[in-house]
Structure 1
Amino acid sequence: MSTGCCSAHPLSREHIGAALSTAGSTITPAKHAAGLQVGHAAETLVVGTIATGNPAAPLAEAMAISGGVIIGIGALKDVEGLTDSSTTTVTPEGVVIPGLIEPHMHIWSSLLNLTWTDVSHEVCATFDDVVATLKQTAARTPAGQYVLGKLFDPSLFPGEPDLTRDILDQIAPNNPVLVMNASMHYLYANSAAFELAGVNYQTMDPPGGTFFRADGKLTGVIGEIPAMLMMLAKFPKPSAADMAAGITEILKECAKQGVTSLREAGTGSLVGVSELALLHQMNGAKRLPVRVSTAQFAIMAGKTPAEVAQTWKDAGVTPFSGDEMVRADAWKVVADGSNQGRSGYFSQPYLGEDNGGHADWTPEGLRGALKAGLDDGWQIMVHTNGDAAVEMALEAMEEILPGYGANDLRHRFEHVSFTTDDHLARLAKANISPSFLMNHVYYWGAAFRDTILGPERAQLLDRVASAYKAGLRPSLHSDYNVSKVHPLQSARTAVLRQLQADGSVLNAAECATPAQALAAITTNAAWQIHADDRGSLEVGKRADYAVVDSNPWTSDPASWDKIVVNETYIDGTLAFQA
């Protein structure tokens, strides 16, 4: 099986697995909300400009909250009757909006290089900027310590340049340097890093890995996991406390973007049940800054999907178990790899190549993995990037879903990057909703068009408008750490479809309306993660909201990525403050 953006990466398992495993396998929900009582009088009255996210009543001037639930919203005169002498009135500095929903991101696979220097195309617009950024990091790193970079993607720079050993030696002559490719299939190293790892020109390539060579020396490029593991053999491993701190940092960054609920889209992919146990332990010690819904990964080392399902059950992890802050909701299967890494599964070859990637399963194996989740009543999430992967997964679901009756568990396909009209129509018929990684358009749209797939196939990327026309309820996600958690930027891209590389528009026919894009990061995304009590501000829903400096429902979508979040609230209590 390949390592895609939604798969467990062996480097992560090797280097953070031991620390995560110390959490054990006991699941103990904290149930912070158990003591909250919804009364007839509001504990808190929020007064100001309130964008509800509810099309039937888009604006309000007051919102009454009791027991973490909205008990009244509308005109101030209509809500004041829900207050008494004990009510606290607050007037936020900004616009109140529903808490945003991040329906697909990754906590565990983001921990390995969380603190490494970001040299992504988003931060470094040119290859020279990558070099300069790494030089700055080296200048503040003590001699002998590692200089570390992440998310370098040569496909986004002209000529697809590599970070060679010679370049990295010049950047940091007194430090070992390691830079991770965004695909996590390649690593770049300098001479000091090779020396620490005990790797030289005569070192044999391990099976499945490559130390690239030229002109009698190592180039500095290391390909695939077996060789990358050798380079990280001496790399310091984190502690359990480091892991907890890293998770907290990731969740705080989500809250900083106005996110109040997220879906962790591959829980158990590294060390199994311990990952979920750790989340509950952290939440028990202190309420997490964001609600976490988990998708249980269908693969564990040495086990069949059916055995994995039994492992989750044995730990008491069943559909919708947990509490209001950490809840197990879905079953995750990965059908193919990464399109920009040329491992997504396509019906036609990549440009300049003779293959179109590959599937991670045989058709029979995929059906078995899906059935293992369906048999236990899980919502299914299937990672599908290439058009052939979408077709393969659709055929499997169309065949086996009728055997499970009419129970609508809101099954999902993730990324669904390249689809035909037929695919979208069949998704709607099967009650399978898509979740799109819109940053594929923003960051990689030009690369798909020019060097990876060609202009014709690039038109089929992230078809949000067509999904709506087919009667689907799409959401938008970041796939963090493939791209940053920033729902309003994703919504902006869904509306504009403007490429970062050249400012051009990729298939204007697929531009969503502003209302559609905002629904995809609020009500649709909440519905997809079975969080019907969130996503908009209405009576009976949770008081999960953010305070921002501009109302996205009335402002220009081109400015959405610049909106600043001042505060984020869960159950009406502060979770983040700028």
Structure 2
Amino acid sequence: MGSNGHDHDGVQCGCHNPIWNALKDSLDSASHSASQPQEANELAREPAGESIIFTNGTIYPLRDGNMDERVEALGIHAGDVVASGTLAAVEARMNALGITYKKQSLNGKTLLPGLIEPHAHIVQSCATEGWLNLGAIDSDNPDEHKNQRLRPTYDWPWLKSTIQGNLPKDNSTWILGHQVDPALMPFQLDPHGLNKLITFHCGPGDDIGNLDTIDKQHPMLLISASMHTAYLNTAASDAVFEKTGVRANKGVLQEAEVLAAIKSIPLRQQLEILNIFKHLEDYFDKAARRGITLLYDAMMDSQSKLVLGAYFLTHPRKLRIGYAAACDGTPEAIGKLPRYQPVSREQAKRFYQGSVKLVSDGSNQGLTGYQAQPYCCEADRPVGNFNFCDQDPTPVTTPDTYKTVVRNAVETGWPLMIHANGDRAIDFTLQAYEAALQGGSALEKRHRIEHCSLLTANTLQTMQRLGLSPSFLIGHVGYWGYSFKQAIFEGKAEQMLDLCQSALNHNLRMTLHSDCSVTPLGPLRSMEQAVTRKMEGIRDAQGQFVRDPRLQPILNEAECLTRKQALKAITYDAAWQCHAEGWTGSLQDGNFADLVILEQDPLDEKVPATSIRDIKVCETWKGGHRVYVNPAS
């Protein structure tokens, strides 16, 4: 039997990348010659901010989270916001301060606080960017209007032809691909049993999913989109066994064995990770093109910090970076955490640690999120994986081990981000938080639950009582919603997936994130998917994804956000979740002049909700300095 990416132990998703864990050793020689990030911070100075009054457009300052206020003008100087309001009042304030300024007409465009990505993975996403992109989401298309949508065709024939069209010229070079996504390929429904996702394998067996039918000469290593499963053809499987003694199970390696596959790649291909600076440059350029001024890395390890520190010695800072420190929950890891200190404005100008990250389960689309009931499709782990167990690998009550880990982490004083996807993982996380808080409120430290995918009225009430904050991977609805509803969860998806409006109804401060590279960077796209909840993964009679949004069904319309609610989730509330609202997320007087200028107003109902992701970013500013200008503006 082959695998669709659900036959292994451990944590899986963008929050845990075993491929990065395997490749990062190749960076040792480069990292040892680099300064520590703190030294890099001392050398990387902010450019002097311009002195400008913006006017003649639509300006939303979002002061104190007010989504209704519009002002005539905004004045900035020396990297900060000086004043907003009427043009006369802003001019008077700038003059009173003795500021010599120029005016910039917006020419009818819309100015907003810079957009915030509250959960992504920077260095880890860039580690395999030189590999062949075999994902369902068209993230490489140079047309910004296409590269956050599903490819028109994504199935086995497409995968086969794409790989065969990019074969290496010599047989000693491996075929390396990433972002393979079985959950977005056609599936088979079984009204009397379990549904079936496509499975990948090698050797004897069906042609569909058999990697040997693509190419037998070149060793082939493909990594799943949830970044935890490796698929190999026979040539690669034999090479791995010969070098490491690890035998793939019909071409599939579990997470603990992926390291063996990476170490079997020819050294010259392993060392291609040394091009990571180029991939980082592209990553930050893309973030600026999409209006992002603050990016929060959801699982930063020490090696990633070294890489970023070395990168910023010679590259400009186009956005601000906060992070959650990776922690496996062991006493050793918790003991190594620095003493907690609130984020200062000076730290915010550079790297800043705002929280600590724990990962409780896996990925729903990878069939490893930990569930109370089995998946509705074939899965080697029918209820998924939980990462902190005592004796029972599939516990039905919260393991004492997990309660201890969360309690120890809370006692460090650091705010926590806990990854929990499946409904049972969320239940366990709530119980562990409640025991650790001992009657206190999570709001004091802004403790979060990441992805927080499958909720009920009871779990929402508990989150409200405890003061917890969810961050939703809204691409679960937009990209995988149809697969979840039809094949993976069936009715559970309609009732429980990403209950955004219900979260707000329970007075929870929530955000929207990409978990990049699981889904592409793009806060406006996240906004659109939260407002429309269109299931983009539905196919037509020819097996292609339906492109017309009018024909894409809505997943649980009652959970659609309003435009104002969704915009707040990617600006003001995202800053709050990232411990940054004291200096960004709104254009309050004295905040950093981090802003974005859009060609259209995303709150204007004349702009179709299904086109919000297509709104052109004209300019992005960080600290009063323009870091991106659209050449077509």
Scaled to the shorter chain, the TM-score interval is 0.7 to 0.9
Say if 1:56 and 1:104 are closer, same or farther in 2 by CA, change over 3 A. closer
DSSP 3-state at the match of 2:479: helix
| In 1: Cα distance, 2:166 partner to 2:45 partner | 47
Q: Secondary structure at the match of 1:332?
A: strand
Q: Which residue type is aligned with residue 91 of structure 1?
A: S
How big is the alpha-carbon RMSD for the aligned residues of Structure 1 and Structure 2? 3.0
| Residue 247 of structure 1: how far off its partner (Å) | 2.7
1:529 Cα offset (Å): 0.4
Change in 2 beyond 3 A, CA 1:323/1:352 = closer
Partner of 2:599: 549
1:278–1:88 Cα change, 3 Å: farther
- Superposed displacement of residue 77, structure 1: 2.4
The equivalent position to 2:319 in structure 1, one of 290, 315, 337, is 290
| 1:70 and 2:108 aligned | no
Contact 2:343 2:353 in 1 (8 A): yes
Query: Which amino acid letter does the alignment assign opposite residue 103 of structure 2?
Result: T
Distance in 2, matches of 1:347 and 1:73, equals 51
Q: Find the counterpart in structure 1 of residue 543 from structure 2.
A: none
* Structure 2 CA distance for aligned equivalents of residues 564 and 149 of structure 1: 31
In structure 2, relative to structure 1, the CA distance for the partners of 1:67 and 1:344 (3 Å cut) is: same
SS at match of 1:228: helix
Check if 1:561 corresponds to 2:601.
no
Instruction: Provide the C-alpha distance between the structure 2 equivalents of 1:199 and 1:325, rounded to a whole number of angstroms.
Output: 46
Give the superposition deviation at 1:411.
Answer: 0.8
Q: 2:27 maps to what in 1?
A: 19
Q: Which moved more, 1:255-264 or 1:321-330?
A: 321-330
Tell me the amino acid that sits aligned with residue 96 of structure 1: L
The answer to whether the 8 A contact 2:117-2:574 is kept is: yes
Contact 1:305 1:372 in 2 (8 A): no
Aligned to 2:198: 161
For residue 265 of structure 2, what is the amino acid of its counterpart? K
Deviates more, 1:481-490 or 1:242-251: 242-251
Q: What is the CA–CA distance in structure 2 between the aligned matches of 1:535 and 1:85, rounded to whole Å?
A: 24
Please tell me the residue identity of whatever aligns with 1:417.
S
Partner SS for 2:372: coil
Is residue 148–residue 179 contact of structure 1 (8 Å, CA) maintained in 2? yes
Mark the CA change 1:65 to 1:237 in structure 2 (over 3 Å): closer, same or farther.
same
Q: Identify the match of residue 91 of structure 1 among 100, 105, 119.
A: 105
CA contact (8 A) 1:345 1:388 kept: yes
Q: Does 2:233 align with 1:222?
A: no
Moved more, 88-97 or 537-546: 88-97
CA contact 1:6–1:266 (8 Å) conserved in 2: no
Aligned partner of 2:276: which letter?
M
Equivalence map 1:314-393=2 (5 Å): 320=343, 322-352=347-377, 355-362=382-389, 363-393=399-429
Within a 5 Å distance, the mapping from 1:43-82 to structure 2 comes to 43-52=51-60, 54=62, 55=66, 58-81=69-92, 82=94
Matched, 1:250 2:283: yes
CA separation in 1, counterparts of 2:555 and 2:42?
46
1:221-273, Cα deviation, whole Å (9 max, x unpaired): 323135433333124223785333333332222222111001100111xxxx3
Pairwise CA distance, 1:517: 1.0
Q: Which runs of 5+ in 2 are unaligned?
A: 1-8, 139-150, 188-196, 390-398, 539-551
Residue from 569, 581, 584 that aligns with 1:534? 584
- 8 A contact 2:133–2:177 mirrored in 1: yes
Distance of 1:90 and 1:33 partners within structure 2: 28
Instruction: Tell me how many residue pairs correspond in the alignment.
Output: 550
In the other structure, the counterpart of 1:218 is none
Query: Which residue is equivalent to 1:522?
Result: 571
Q: How much does 1:190 deviate?
A: 3.9
CA distance in 2, matches of 1:491, 1:284: 34
Q: Aligned to 2:124, which of 109, 113, 130?
A: 109
Mapped partners of 1:36, 1:493: distance in 2: 35
Match of 1:305 among 326, 330, 347: 330
Q: Is the 8 A contact 2:44 2:312 kept in 1?
A: no
Residue deviations 1:515-559 (CA, integer Å, cap 9, x gap): 111111111111100111222223222211112221112133221
Structure 1 residues 156-203: Cα deviation after superposition (integer angstroms, max 9, x where no partner): 222333455576556557644332221233333345545654659xx9
Who is 1:400 aligned against? 436
Q: Say whether residues 1:414 and 2:414 are aligned partners.
A: no
Distance 1:98-1:406 versus aligned 2 partners, 3 A rule: closer
Q: Is the 8 A contact 2:512 2:570 kept in 1?
A: yes
Determine the structure 2 residue equivalent to 1:475.
511
- Which letter maps to 1:494? A
Equivalent residue number for residue 626 of structure 2: 574
Please tell me whether residue 152 in structure 1 is matched to residue 160 in structure 2. no
What SS does the corresponding residue of 2:509 show, helix, strand or coil? coil
Deviation at 1:426, TM superposition (A): 1.1
Distance 1:80 1:320 in 2: 32
Q: Secondary structure at the match of 1:58?
A: coil
1:277-334 deviations in whole A, cap 9, x for unaligned? Answer: 44344334444212111101112xxxx6332233232xx7855374423100001111
Could you list the per-position Cα deviations for residues 65-104 of structure 1 after superposition, in whole angstroms to 9, with x for gaps in the alignment? 1221111122322222214673233335643222111001
1:416-431 → structure 2 map (5 Å cutoff): 416-431=452-467
Alpha-carbon distance change, 544 to 323 in structure 1, aligned in 2, over 3 angstroms: closer
Percent identity among equivalent residues?
29
Partner residue of 1:491 out of 527, 537, 549? 527
Partner secondary structure for residue 343 of structure 1: coil
Deviations, residues 378-412 of structure 1 (Å, cap 9, x unaligned): 11111010111111010111111136678701111
Which one-letter code corresponds to 1:279 in the other structure? L
Residue identity in the other structure for 2:57: T
Q: Could you tell me whether the CA contact under 8 Å between 2:340 and 2:412 is conserved in 1?
A: no
Gap change, CA 1:365 and 1:163, over 3 Å in 2: closer
Contact 1:28 1:281 in 2 (8 A): no
Report whether the alignment pairs 1:188 with 2:231.
yes
Equivalent residue of 1:312, what SS?
coil
Aligned to 1:504: 553
The 1:7–1:56 alpha-carbon spacing in structure 2 relative to 1, beyond 3 Å, is: closer
Read off the aligned partner of 1:69 and give its amino acid letter: D
Equivalent-residue separation in structure 2 for 1:352 and 1:241 (angstroms): 40
Counterpart check, 1:234 vs 2:270: no
Q: In 1, distance between residues paired with 2:433 and 2:83? A: 42
1:515/1:553 contact within 8 Å kept: yes
When structure 1 is superposed on structure 2, of 395-404 and 184-193 the one drifting more is: 184-193
The answer to whether the Cα contact below 8 Å between 1:48 and 1:61 also exists between their aligned partners in 2 is yes
Of the structure 1 ranges 563-572 and 176-185, higher mean CA displacement relative to structure 2 is found in 176-185
The residue type equivalent to 1:508 in the other structure is: E
Q: 2-side partners of 1:297 and 1:260: how far apart?
A: 23
2:240 and 2:246 in contact (8 A); partners too: no
The match for 2:170 is 143
5+ unaligned residues in a row in structure 1: which ranges? Answer: 213-220
Alignment of 1:448-463 (within 5 A): 448-463=484-499
Q: 1:66 to 1:32 in 2, by over 3 A?
A: farther
- Partner in structure 2 of residue 217 of structure 1: none
Contact 1:332–1:382 (8 Å) recurs in 2: yes
